[in-house]
Every structure is written in structure tokens, then in C-alpha cells.
């Protein structure tokens, strides 16, 4: 294991080459630890040596958003499933940036591709960068990114998506606040 002061060029190249990453968060008190796989090409960006972000497309719940609203703690992990073994973890403090936030558009513009069904952008200030051997991670081949998420939501936009998230993801499974109410549009 090695701890780095920041995301350097080698770590950046490793992170950007991965097809999937994992996000872990937890509430402060009793509750469920959440661990989510994330993917889609272009959904993760390195904004600086200690700052990253990823596109949060809606899925089965809003645990990450709820935990970040409560305490901000987040860990992002990348594992090499091909090539030399390696695991990189980014420990930090995150926040969910939603469409109603003033910096949402500028942050969204930092991503090469943004698909419909974007619920939020998770921005993370990285406090610790650590790698480890990854010797027990299996070798696996990448075929392609799935398209079902983006294809199913191609027709819903803006206000309809905000209303959907506000209705479907107002709180976590532990009752913590997650998605804010939909904005009133004039």
C-alpha cells in the first residue's frame, strides 16, 4: 500500500483507463452502508489533483446523495480487471450538485458526454489517495458499456426528470433526506 499526496499523472492514467468504479458511503449513526458500481464512458472526470466528479444517473435509490447530504464522507475505488494488478481508493468529502444548484451547468460541461437521466453530479474533494496490490482481483475482459439506462430515458428531459427524482428519491432507505423537491418552473 502506498499513500499519495494527490492524483499524479500515473494514477490519472490508471483511473481513466478503468471501465467501472465503485462508490461507498454510510450514514453517521445506525443505517445501511451503501456500495454502488458506476460506469458509462465519460462519467468520471478528474478536475484537479485533489478534486474529482462523476455523473450520478438514477437507479435503484439515492443512498449516496442522502449520505453526502448528512455527512459528506465518500470513498471511490478503481480496480484493475485487466493488465497489471492494482486498486486505487480516493477518500474524501463529497457533495451532490443538482440541476437547481448555480454551479450545475459549469460542472456538467466538464464531462465529455452527458446522457439523459442525469440526477446529480457528485463532486469530491479528495483527502487521501491510496493504492494497494490488487493481487486477488480476478482478470476479466470488458465487452462494452450497457445502453439500456440511456435508451430507456431518451425522451424524458428537464422538469419531468426533476419531478421524477423528487417523487421517487426523496429519502434514503434509512429515512435520510435525499433528492430536493422539484423546482417550480415558470
Tens of pLDDT, residues 135-182: 999 999 999 888 777 776 666 666 777 777 777 787 888 888 887 776
State yes or no: pLDDT of 44 exceeds 50: yes
In angstroms, rounded to a whole number, what is the distance separating the alpha carbons of residues 104 and 147? 24
Residue with cell 458499456: 145
* Domain annotation covers residue 181: no
Percent of the chain that is helix, strand, coil (3-state, to 5)? 20, 30, 45
Residue 16 lies in a domain: yes
CB 119 within 8 A of CB 160: no
Inter-residue contact 57 to 95 (CB < 8 Å): no
Residue-wise pLDDT for 54-69, tens only, equals: 999 877 689 999 999 9
Residue 175 lies in a domain: no
The residue count for the chain: 186
| Cα 51 from Cα 60, distance rounded (Å) | 26
With respect to residue 173, please indicate whether it lies within any of the assigned structural domains. Answer: no
Q: Where are the beta strands (DSSP E) in the chain?
A: 2-4, 21-25, 34-38, 44-48, 51-57, 73-79, 87-97, 118-132
Q: What was the pLDDT predicted at 186?
A: 44
Residue 104 lies in domain: 2-168
Q: What is the CATH number of the domain that holds 152?
A: 2.30.110.10
Other beta carbons within 10 angstroms of residue 50's beta carbon come to 17
Looking at residues 103-112, what average pLDDT do you find? 95
pLDDT digits (tens, 9 = 90+) for 49-107: 999 999 998 776 899 999 999 999 999 999 999 999 999 999 999 999 998 899 999 99
pLDDT, tens digit (0-9, with 9 covering 90-100), for 12-35:
999 999 999 999 999 998 899 999
| Cα(97)–Cα(65) distance, integer angstroms | 9
Residue 52 domain flag:
yes
For the chain, how many structural domains are there in total?
1
- Would residue 174 count as lying in a domain? no
b/e sequence 96-130, b meaning 16+ C-beta within 10 Å = bbbbeeeeeeebeeebeebbbbbbbbbbbebeebe
Q: Is residue 184 part of a domain?
A: no
Amino acid at each position: 500500500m502506498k499513500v499519495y499526496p494527490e492524483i499524479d499523472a500515473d494514477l490519472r492514467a490508471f483511473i481513466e483507463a478503468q471501465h467501472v468504479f465503485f462508490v461507498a458511503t454510510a450514514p453517521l449513526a445506525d443505517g445501511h452502508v451503501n456500495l454502488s458500481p458506476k460506469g458509462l464512458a465519460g462519467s468520471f472526470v478528474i478536475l484537479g489533483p485533489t478534486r474529482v466528479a462523476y455523473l450520478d444517473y438514477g437507479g435503484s435509490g439515492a443512498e449516496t446523495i442522502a449520505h453526502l447530504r448528512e455527512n459528506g464522507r465518500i470513498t471511490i475505488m478503481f480496480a484493475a480487471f485487466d493488465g497489471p494488478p492494482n486498486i486505487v481508493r480516493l477518500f474524501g468529502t463529497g457533495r451532490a450538485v443538482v440541476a437547481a444548484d448555480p454551479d450545475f451547468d459549469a460542472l456538467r460541461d466538464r464531462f465529455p458526454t452527458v446522457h439523459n437521466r442525469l440526477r446529480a453530479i457528485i463532486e469530491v474533494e479528495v483527502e487521501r489517495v491510496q493504492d494497494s496490490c490488487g493481487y486477488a482481483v480476478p482478470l476479466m475482459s470488458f465487452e462494452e458499456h450497457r445502453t439500456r439506462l440511456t435508451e430507456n430515458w431518451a425522451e424524458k428531459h428537464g422538469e419531468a426528470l426533476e419531478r421524477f427524482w423528487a417523487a421517487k428519491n426523496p429519502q434514503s432507505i434509512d429515512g435520510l433526506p435525499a433528492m430536493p423537491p422539484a423546482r417550480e418552473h415558470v
